[in-house]
Every structure is written in structure tokens, then in C-alpha cells.
């Protein structure tokens, strides 16, 4: 997609100014230790956000640069991002998509998962990890989570396998490390596909 100069948004984006940190060392994260609460979080009003955008002036500058270059999709910045991600996670290639949802759906579709299949996953995650399974026509099978990591309990994963199970879709909830080696070993024993959803951990 290309944007003409006459219609391109002006930078900086005043609409995101309230969430852009001008100082990367800004405390804001230490409210429990007496710092300033993020997003006005208070116990009285129960306004306690799960998270907040971690954006600095660097991200703001790069967004402005992308808009001014009239490339809102693909292009050199995306190619550089894909190369950096691939190098960071130790794989030959990475493909940038518009969202984690799009990425998960692309993976399930590429693997041929569809009606009649079951995919073991967690009930405690962003809704996309379940929605993409349903969108393919497959059935999500939920496995309870561990109380500390909040990820799927490996001891329960194997019990959930049926003749219709095609894959295990494990999510690193809130970025907490999961028992990936254990899940992968279970998948290998039963000839299942193993999908690692690191949307909440990447970065």
C-alpha cells in the first residue's frame, strides 16, 4: 500500500503521546515500591491494567519514518525486522504478519488442520489461540494450567490426547517460560504437530 504525500499523516502522533515514554529510564513500573502507578492504577477504583504499551521515542521515530517513506506494508523496514527476528530466535526465516492471530491462523492452515481435528491448548490465554482453532473448523481441547507459570500442566496434556488430536498449541502466557521440551516430547511420541505461540513472550 502506498500513501500519497498529500494524505500522509503528520508526525509526531499526538494521539499516542500519552503512552510514549520520553525517558527510557522512566520509573512508572515500580508503583508497588512507591513509584507512580502506571495508567493511574488504583486499588480503590480497581483500575489495574494488565499491561501498558512500552513505547519510547525510538518507536515513535521509526513509525514516523515508515509513514514518511510512504511504505505502510512490506518494504525494507519489514525485511530488516524479519531478519532481526530470525537471527534472535535462531531460525533461517521469519515472516512478519499483521497480528499474532493472523500468524496462528496461517500456521494452522498451512499444517492442514481443519474439521474433525482436535487441537490441545490452554483455556487461559488471549482469545486468539482458541479462535484460530475454531476458525479452521477444528475443535479446541482445553488442558488446565499450572498455578505458578499459568501455562498448560504437562501432566494433563498427554491425558487429553484422543485419536482425533492433530496438534498441541502451547502458549507462553504473559511471557512465562513453558515446558516446551516436555510438550514436544509428548507430541513426538504420539505423532502430533507442535505449535509454540510466543506472542506474549517475544520482545
Residue 5 covered by a domain = no
* pLDDT above 90: residue 43: no
Mean pLDDT, rounded, for 164-192? 94
Residue 113 covered by a domain = yes
SS3 labels along the chain: CCCCCCCCCCCCCHHHHHHEECCCCCCCCCHHHCCCCHHHCCCCCCCCCCCCCCEEHHHHHHHHHHHHCCCCCCCHHHHHHHHHHHHHHCCCCCCCCCCHHHHHHHHHHHCCCCCCCEEEECCCCCCHHHHHHHHHCCEEEECCECCCCCCECHHHHHHHCCCCEEEEEEECHHHCCCCHHHHHHHHHHHCCEEEEECCCCCC
Domain that holds residue 166: 100-197
Residue 168 covered by a domain = yes
Domain containing 175 — which CATH number? Answer: 3.40.640.10
* pLDDT above 90: residue 41: no
Residue 171 covered by a domain = yes
Mean pLDDT, rounded, for 19-32? 44
Mean pLDDT, rounded, for 4-25? 47
Mean pLDDT, rounded, for 172-194? 93
Residue 159 covered by a domain = yes
Burial of 168 (0-12, 13-18, 19+ CB in 10 A): buried
Task: Say how far apart CA 19 and CA 12 lie, in whole Å.
Answer: 13
Mean pLDDT, rounded, for 148-167? 94
Residue 191 covered by a domain = yes
Residue 126 covered by a domain = yes
Buried b / exposed e along 37-50 (16+ C-beta atoms within 10 A): eeeeeeeeeeeeee
**Number of structural domains, the chain?**
1
Residue 145 covered by a domain = yes
Burial of 115 (0-12, 13-18, 19+ CB in 10 A): exposed
Mean pLDDT, rounded, for 167-189? 93
Q: What digits encode the pLDDT tens for the residues 51-106?
A: 777 788 888 888 888 888 777 778 888 899 899 999 998 999 999 998 999 999 99
* pLDDT above 90: residue 194: yes
Amino acid at each position: 500500500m502506498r500513501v500519497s504525500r498529500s494524505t500522509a499523516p503528520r508526525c509526531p502522533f499526538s494521539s499516542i503521546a500519552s503512552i510514549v515514554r520520553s525517558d527510557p529510564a522512566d520509573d512508572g513500573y515500580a508503583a508497588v515500591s512507591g513509584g507512580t502507578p502506571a495508567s493511574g492504577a488504583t486499588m480503590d477504583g480497581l483500575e489495574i491494567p494488565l499491561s501498558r504499551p512500552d513505547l519510547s521515542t525510538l518507536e515513535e521515530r521509526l513509525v514516523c519514518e515508515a509513514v514518511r517513506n510512504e511504505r505502510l506494508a512490506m518494504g525494507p523496514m519489514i525485511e530488516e525486522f524479519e531478519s532481526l527476528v530470525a537471527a534472535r530466535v535462531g531460525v533461517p526465516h521469519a515472516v512478519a504478519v499483521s497480528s499474532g492471530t493472523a500468524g496462528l491462523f496461517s500456521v494452522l492452515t498451512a499444517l492442514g488442520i481443519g474439521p474433525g481435528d482436535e487441537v490441545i491448548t490452554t483455556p487461559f490465554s488471549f482469545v486468539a489461540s482458541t479462535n484460530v482453532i475454531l476458525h479452521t473448523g477444528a475443535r479446541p481441547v482445553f488442558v488446565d494450567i499450572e498455578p505458578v507459570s499459568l501455562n498448560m500442566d504437562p501432566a494433563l496434556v498427554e491425558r487429553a490426547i484422543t485419536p482425533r488430536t492433530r496438534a498441541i498449541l502451547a502458549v507462553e502466557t504473559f511471557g512465562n517460560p513453558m515446558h516446551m521440551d516436555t510438550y514436544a516430547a509428548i507430541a513426538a511420541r504420539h505423532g502430533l504437530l507442535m505449535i509454540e505461540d510466543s506472542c506474549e513472550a517475544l520482545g
